């Protein structure tokens, strides 16, 4: 019989270990959790119980919601056309490249090839944001366009994941109608409700948002869609409210990163079969190369068009080739719904992890632009350090 | 011999020793002294909040350090200008030294993880290689 306390102690012990390693290496805790999960999953038996799956699933929903809530809607509205253009190209080029390779070169079936394309089309907004801060681009209109474009890329990824595999019948209509109603009402209702209940230890605001996310997630699942789709859209709808009240998303992040997302990333790692990774090392490299090459084809000319110098253009393009969270979410969706098998999952998640690490290392080692020394904050974010 | 000295300070013990040397050199050569500290952002962050949080932590780290350093410079009767920038240590420091046209960069052993040193390289080694002026490494 399962000993729930020992099982949870093992999972949280791994999460704590990942946190300590991430602090020591100054590397994202999510990436370390995947690696620790992979090591644990292959060395000891990491039990995927119902409650682990629930916490992991809720973690994926929360991290997607919080990613959507980081959008700066003003910047997106102000530069809608270039943001949509760059963002769409940044999604479509690797999507088509990876789908084409998986379908025609590897003879994967169409749904599995779609998962490959969606997993490897993402861009890590947080990595690009960090670069913007370092280079001072976050204060320029160009920087804001690129950051908004990254959100568009992620939105396209989430939309693709939510729509491609959905049942196109009445259930999808019900889900679509409920989501549209929530998106229409939330921007007005949520700030009113937050003001009404105030800041309490019982966190009524967080419970309210969780209620919406889980309710829409349930409808999405019935419609054969994915719960992260409404989560991202609700995050976008609530972004202006969060700009006015930045403490709320911060508290939600603490809850999510303490008790939910570790289960998600550890689970995503634990399902990676290391034997399959070793056996498919060449294939993983090819998928990574296709993702990077197609991002280059799509984005590098645009950086030239927007007057980046050569080094800055390469740096930005490399950083827009990174991805982690949505890539693993897409691959895990494929595995959970039996669209891809364990080996294909290992290949795709490994390529996603490599896409988080390799372009960043290349960018930092060979293409790092000299910093401008300009600093600033993204709208809606706390101001960073001033130059003293 | 030295007119413009730059000290790179990351708050480590090695950097504190480097500051002692830089203050003494600035006194002896009647040189100007500038200090640069670099807020390093997390590698491969997952959320924007992670970046913002790291910057806030860096601010908390550097504010008391700057107060201590200013007070030491005042006691040594050396005029010190302090600059804190976000970025990666090596390019930020090299760019600053170039911009200030410094003729001496003083550094201590700068803290980095073993993995980072192995993959990206030692900060001190790279500063010695890339700085456009003399470099004094204080142990």
| A312 vs B80, more confident | B80
- CB-nearest partner of B88 from A364, A378, A387: A364
Report the chain B residue with the minimal C-alpha distance to residue A364: B120
Whether A250 has a pLDDT exceeding 90, the answer reads no
Q: Which of A201, A229, A235, A203 is nearest to A216 (CA)?
A: A229
For residues A323 and A262, what is the distance between their CA atoms, to the nearest angstrom?
Answer: 18
Q: How far is B66 from chain A (nearest CA, A)?
A: 9
Span A42-47, average pLDDT: 86
8 A C-beta contact, residue A118 and residue A157: yes
For residues A298 and A293, what is the distance between their CA atoms, to the nearest angstrom?
Answer: 9
A-chain residues near B6 (CB < 8 A): none
Whether B53 has a pLDDT exceeding 90, the answer reads no
8 A C-beta contact, residue A42 and residue A89: no
- CB-nearest partner of B50 from A25, A126, A373: A126
Band of pLDDT at residue A383, cut at 50, 70 and 90: very low
Span B36-62, average pLDDT: 81
Query: Domain containing B89: what range?
Result: 4-138
What domains are defined for chain A?
31-366 (1.20.1530.20)
Residue A373: its pLDDT value, please? 41
Quick check: B86 and A134 CB within 8 A? yes
Q: Which residues, at least 6 apart from A5, have a Cβ–Cβ distance to it below 8 Å?
A: none
Where in chain A does DSSP place strands (E)? none
- Write down the ipTM of this complex: 0.72
pLDDT in tens, A316-345: 888 889 888 899 999 999 999 999 999 999
Span A19-41, average pLDDT: 89
Span A106-129, average pLDDT: 93
Q: Which residues, at least 6 apart from A115, have a Cβ–Cβ distance to it below 8 Å?
A: A330, A331, A333, A334, A339, A340, A344, A348
Span A54-74, average pLDDT: 91
CA end-to-end span of chain B, whole Å? 22
B-chain residues near A67 (CB < 8 A): 47
Quick check: A133 and B86 CB within 8 A? yes
For residues A298 and A291, what is the distance between their CA atoms, to the nearest angstrom?
Answer: 11
Span A107-135, average pLDDT: 88
Q: Which of A230, A234, A249, A237 is nearest to A187 (CA)?
A: A237
Residue A380: its pLDDT value, please? 34
Q: Helix or strand or coil: residue A367?
A: coil
Tokens of B67: 């107060």
Report the chain A residue with the minimal C-alpha distance to residue B61: A385
| B81 vs B117, more confident | B81
For residues B7 and B97, what is the distance between their CA atoms, to the nearest angstrom?
Answer: 9
* CB burial of residue A107 (10 Å; 0-12, 13-18, 19+): exposed
Residue A80: its pLDDT value, please? 85
Band of pLDDT at residue A379, cut at 50, 70 and 90: very low
pLDDT in tens, A75-85: 788 878 888 88
Residue A382: its pLDDT value, please? 33
Whether A190 has a pLDDT exceeding 90, the answer reads yes
| A332 vs A140, more confident | A332
Quick check: A28 and B43 CB within 8 A? yes
For residues A210 and B110, what is the distance between their CA atoms, to the nearest angstrom?
Answer: 44
Span A215-231, average pLDDT: 93
Whether A35 has a pLDDT exceeding 90, the answer reads yes
Residue A369: its pLDDT value, please? 64
Best B43, B66, B95 member to test A by mutation, with max A CBs in 10 Å, is B43
CA distances A35 to A30, A349, B76, B118, Å, are: 9, 11, 50, 19
Q: Which residues, at least 6 apart from A43, have a Cβ–Cβ distance to it below 8 Å?
A: none
Residue A12: its pLDDT value, please? 95
- CB-nearest partner of A373 from B47, B51, B85: B85
Quick check: B51 and A126 CB within 8 A? yes
Q: What is the DSSP string of chain B?
A: --SEEEEE--SSHHHHHHHHHHHHHHHHHT-EEEEEEEEPPPBS-SSHHHHHHHHHHHHHHHHHHHHHHHHHHHHTT--EEEEEEES-HHHHHHHHHHHHT-SEEEEEPPP--HHHHHHT--HHHHHHHH-SSEEEEE-
Quick check: A70 and B49 CB within 8 A? yes
pLDDT in tens, A145-164: 888 888 999 999 999 998 99
Whether A17 has a pLDDT exceeding 90, the answer reads yes
Query: Sheet containing B104-108: which strands, arranged edge to edge?
Result: B80-86, B32-39, B4-8, B104-108, B134-138
The count of domains in chain B is: 1
For residues A252 and A203, what is the distance between their CA atoms, to the nearest angstrom?
Answer: 9
Band of pLDDT at residue A312, cut at 50, 70 and 90: confident
Band of pLDDT at residue A385, cut at 50, 70 and 90: very low
| B123 vs A238, more confident | A238
The CATH number assigned to the domain holding B68 equals 3.40.50.620
B-chain residues near A361 (CB < 8 A): 119-120
Residues 25-54 of B with CB under 8 A from A: 39-52
Percent of chain A with pLDDT over 70: 93
Supply the mean pLDDT for chain B: 84
């Amino acid at each position: 019989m399962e000993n729930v306390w020992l099982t949870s102690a093992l999972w949280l012990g791994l999460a704590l270990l990942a946190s300590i390693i991430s602090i020591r290496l100054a590397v994202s805790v999510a990436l370390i959790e995947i690696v620790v999960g992979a090591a644990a999953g292959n060395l000891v038996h990491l039990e995927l119980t119902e409650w682990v799956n629930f916490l992991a699933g809720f973690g994926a929903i929360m991290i997607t919601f919080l990613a959507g809530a980081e959008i700066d809607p003003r910047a997106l509205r102000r530069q809608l056309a270039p943001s949509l253009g760059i963002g769409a190209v940044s999604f479509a080029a690797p999507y088509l490249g990876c789908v084409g390779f998986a379908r025609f070169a590897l003879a994967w079936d169409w749904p599995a090839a779609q998962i490959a394309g969606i997993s490897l089309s993402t861009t890590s907004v947080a990595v690009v944001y960090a670069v913007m801060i370092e280079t001072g681009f976050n204060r320029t209109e160009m920087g804001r366009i690129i950051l908004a474009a990254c959100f568009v890329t992620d939105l396209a990824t989430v939309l693709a994941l939510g729509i491609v595999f959905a049942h196109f019948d009445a259930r999808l209509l019900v889900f679509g109608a409920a989501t549209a109603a929530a998106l229409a009402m939330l921007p007005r209702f949520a700030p009113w409700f937050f003001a009404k209940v105030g800041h309490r230890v019982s966190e009524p605001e967080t419970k309210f948002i969780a209620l919406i996310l889980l309710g829409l997630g349930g409808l999405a699942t019935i419609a054969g869609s994915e719960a992260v789709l409404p989560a991202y859209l609700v995050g976008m709808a609530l972004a202006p409210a969060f700009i006015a009240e930045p403490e709320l998303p911060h508290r939600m992040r603490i809850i999510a990163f303490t008790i939910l997302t570790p289960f998600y990333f550890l689970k995503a790692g634990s399902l990676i079969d290391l034997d399959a990774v070793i056996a498919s090392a060449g294939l993983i490299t090819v998928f990574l190369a296709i993702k990077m090459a197609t991002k280059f084809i799509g984005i590098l000319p645009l950086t030239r068009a927007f007057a980046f110098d050569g080094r800055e253009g390469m740096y930005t393009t490399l950083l827009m080739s990174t991805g982690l969270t949505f890539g693993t979410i897409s691959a895990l969706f494929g595995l959970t719904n039996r669209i891809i098998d364990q080996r294909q999952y290992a290949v795709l998640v490994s390529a996603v992890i490599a896409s988080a690490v390799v372009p960043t290392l290349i960018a930092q080692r060979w293409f790092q632009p000299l910093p401008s020394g300009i600093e600033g904050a993204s709208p809606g974010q706390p101001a960073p350090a001033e130059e003293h | 011999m030295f007119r413009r000295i730059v000290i790179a300070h990351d708050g480590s013990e090695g950097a504190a020793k480097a500051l002692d040397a830089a203050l003494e050199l600035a006194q002896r050569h009647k040189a100007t002294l500038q200090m640069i500290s670099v807020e390093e952002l997390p590698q491969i962050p997952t959320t924007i909040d992670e970046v913002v949080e790291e910057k806030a932590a860096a601010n908390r780290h550097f504010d008391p350090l700057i107060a201590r350093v200013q007070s030491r410079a005042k006691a040594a009767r050396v005029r010190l200008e302090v600059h804190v920038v976000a970025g990666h240590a090596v390019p930020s420091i090299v760019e600053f030294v170039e911009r200030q046209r410094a003729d001496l960069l003083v550094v201590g052993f700068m803290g980095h993880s073993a993995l980072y040193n192995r993959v990206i390289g030692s900060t001190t080694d790279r500063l010695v290689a890339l700085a456009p002026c003399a470099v004094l490494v204080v142990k």
